[in-house]
Structure 1
Amino acid sequence: MTSRKGNRRGTAGRTARILLAVLAAMALVIAGCGTDEDDGTVTMARANWDSGYMQAAIYAQLIGELGYEVSDPADNTRDPNGFYPALASGQFDLWVNGWFPLHDIYLEGERVTGQSVDLPIEPVGFQVRSGALQGYMIDKATADARGITSMSQLADASVARIFDQDGDGLADLIGCNDGWGCQNVIDSHIGELGWGPNVEQISGDYNSLVAGVRDRVASGEPVLFYAWTPNWTYQVLTPGTDVVWLESPALDDEEASTEVQGLRGCASDPCNLGWAVSSIRAVGNEDFLDDNSDIRRLLEVVSIPLSDIAAQNAAMAGADLGYSEAQIKADAADWIEANRDTVDRWLATARG
């Protein structure tokens, strides 16, 4: 497990990393490593968070039912910083793990390449529409004992120190992997919101870090962490019982709604999480989508209930000996067969 602190220099570093990824991806294409969109093959990638693995497998199998040969998304697991530049350059055709508006930054040529150009990237359809949540949580025992309901209370250094695990006086916020969009947003929150000067983000492997969160909750120790749904953490750390959501102000330039009605485990209703309520979407290379209109039509109509995603995520989290790629593909196949009537309508729409 690795960790990283100090997040106030995130913007410059992020831009440099993305630009390097763009150049590397373009070099691969020039060298002949891009996909051939005329040979009936599709090169899919997937995100490096396991809560999206089954969905990637579902889409891959559905595209296969249209008659395409689809690469295994597991062979092309990427973080957003690596995926979007490679998608723009044609190294990949699509993935189905786009989070918007969180990933809007990757659609902007100025932010990705440093040039005012339109990137050939297109979000398509809504796997989950306006149902994906993100925010900050703490253990319920500390929330109840200290009366903490909002991140704004961490503007008081004495409150922030409750969550200091390494003795430097700052609250340790268990955050996101390097290269994830949420890591960038947390960096921005720390840099711009009133509670930020008393908080540092701890980055590393999210699943390993949250295993530590579970241990602290079980032992009654204070802990502050980033969470999202759908994700397995929501199944093993029950909001309102084990942990609670904290409200937070949003960034001044946040345009999307950050309020959630009836959120279990939040002291207020509606609950202002400070994070835009997101949609999970497929994202494709525009040239590929133009050349394969049946795949575009399929991506436009596929949707997967949050409850189904959460149930599969919980199964992965509860597997004592780990969860294999074969099991993930089997889960996808089982989901398709359980929803065969709907899937067949999608495929008929795709075929036109």
Structure 2
Amino acid sequence: MFDRKAFTRIATGVAVAAMATVATGSHAVADQAKPGEGTTVRMARATWDTGWWQAEIYKQLLEQLGYEVAKVTTLDNPPFYQSVAQGDMDLWVNGWFPLHNTYEDTFSQGAETVGYVAEGGALQGYLVDKKTADEHDIRYLSDMKKPEIAELFDTDGNGKANMVACPPGWGCEELIAFQMDAYELRDSVDLIKAGYSASMADALSRYNNGEPIFFYTWTPNWTVGLLKPGRDVVWLQVEETRLPDDQADLVDAATVAGVEGCADDPCNMGMPANDIRPVANSEFLEANPAVRALLEEVRVPVQDIFAQNAQMNDGADSAEDLQEQAESWIADNQDKVDGWLESARKAAM
């Protein structure tokens, strides 16, 4: 005899089980698409604004993986490397190596470099305006030891050349300080260590008024977009590269071929080219394999960084501008981005 009640119970049970299976499967698919759901990333960025756009790109990619990125914190090098090692910060993408090797003892206790934003494309060194260099045959940093040369770049009347340098806490500040001593330039050069962007804006104004300028810079940076090496400015060389102990094995890397705006090829710039790299807390990476995979995959071409820095220098430098510029870059590189995100999702499975 057909038991309608029993049949109804069985049918209902099958339906409920099927619905549970579908729901579980849907949840699994959602988790795979956004493996970071429920996790907040404490992200930092450097104090130099030329690195903020790259930080915004990574922030948006992490959010596409489901991570919640708290407000990005702007930090100097020493507090960032200490906080990432201690686990108070999870990561940033503004590591410069070997320039930041000086912090390795700190961050290696609980953090690590992972992946590359831009590999080997970050040059750094000393420049002067081309007009003054040509008129006075200035080719080497050591030329600043000559009183008549130093006086050309004196902006405060004390007879020393005034050079735009790096603010306290930047890795380049320590390297420049080392070289000022190593090349015995303390009696010839005064370092301008105020805010870099403001100091360079002042130097640009003096250049536009036909006055000599002397400054440190790095690439990618808006400075070499407005003051083009070979046309407006020239790189100064050193006769012998002298580096701190933590970079002593990189002396050969300071001689670079094909540098536009250098008198010689290859050019002995006195400073090795740098890799721009993410640095992240090791325990955080262990708990979030999707983040590790993403950091290992992403690359941002140096020329794209140049282009964004130029936009920023033209006034498109608000938080909204950075967000829109990052969104646009991601959309323009969607095929690559999709591959990076897929690798991150697979790593989380």
TM-score range, shorter chain: 0.7 to 0.9
Report 1:20-99 matches (<5 A): 39-73=38-72, 76-99=73-96
Secondary structure of the residue aligned to 1:344 is: helix
Post-superposition offset of 1:196: 4.3
1:345 to 334, 339, 342: 339
How high is the sequence identity, in percent, across the aligned residues? 44
Residue in structure 2 matched with residue 324 of structure 1 by the alignment: 318
Residue in structure 1 matched with residue 30 of structure 2 by the alignment: none
The CA distance in 1 between the partners of 2:114 and 2:160, in whole Å, is 41
Secondary structure of the residue aligned to 1:251 is: coil
Residue in structure 2 matched with residue 7 of structure 1 by the alignment: none
Deviates more, 1:255-264 or 1:206-215: 255-264
Instruction: Indicate whether 1:311 and 2:311 are aligned.
Output: no
Contact kept? 2:220, 2:302, Cα under 8 Å: yes
Contact kept? 1:97, 1:282, Cα under 8 Å: yes
**Please, what is the CA RMSD of the aligned residues?**
1.6
Instruction: Indicate whether 1:150 and 2:149 are aligned.
Output: no
Secondary structure of the residue aligned to 2:117 is: strand
Secondary structure of the residue aligned to 2:114 is: strand
The CA distance in 1 between the partners of 2:121 and 2:167, in whole Å, is 22
Instruction: Indicate whether 1:106 and 2:103 are aligned.
Output: yes
Secondary structure of the residue aligned to 2:228 is: coil
Distance 1:92 1:339, change over 3 A: same
The CA distance in 2 between the partners of 1:310 and 1:219, in whole Å, is 25
Letter in 2 for 1:241: R
Secondary structure of the residue aligned to 1:212 is: helix
The CA distance in 2 between the partners of 1:190 and 1:291, in whole Å, is 44
Output one character per residue of 1:238-267: Cα deviation in whole Å (capped at 9) or x when no partner. 111111111123215432201221111111
Gaps of 5+ in 1: 1-36, 113-117
Contact kept? 1:191, 1:197, Cα under 8 Å: no
The structure having more radius of gyration, on CA atoms, is 2
Post-superposition offset of 1:157: 2.9
Distance 1:59 1:38, change over 3 A: closer
Instruction: Tell me which stretches of 4 or more aligned residues in structure 1 moved more than 4 Å.
Output: none
TM-score by length of 2: 0.84
The CA distance in 2 between the partners of 1:346 and 1:266, in whole Å, is 37
The CA distance in 1 between the partners of 2:179 and 2:148, in whole Å, is 20
The CA distance in 1 between the partners of 2:227 and 2:64, in whole Å, is 37
Gaps of 5+ in 2: 1-35
Size of the aligned set, in residue pairs, is: 305
Residue in structure 2 matched with residue 250 of structure 1 by the alignment: 241
Contact kept? 1:190, 1:197, Cα under 8 Å: no
